[in-house]
Structure 1
Amino acid sequence: MSATDRLSAAHAEVKAEIARTDNKTALLLAFVGAVLAGAWSIARDLPLNVPALIVGGSGMAALVAAAGLLLRSTRPNLKGRHGFPLWATLAADEIPDALSGSLAADVAGLSRLAVAKFTCLRRAVDLTQVGGALLILAVLLTVGGAQ
Structure 2
Amino acid sequence: MLVNNTQAASNVQQITRPDMDPANAAASALYSGALQAAQHSVTVPAAQKELDKASDRIDEAFAKTRVQLQATTNGARTEFTEYMSKSPAERIREQLLKEQGLTEEHVQAMPQEKQDAIAKQVAERLKEQQQQQVAAKATASPAQTRKETLAAI
TM over 0.5: no
| TM-score, scaled to structure 1 | 0.31
Greater radius of gyration (CA): 2
Higher RCO by CA contacts (8 Å cutoff, separation 6 or greater) = 1
Structure 2 length normalisation: TM-score? 0.30
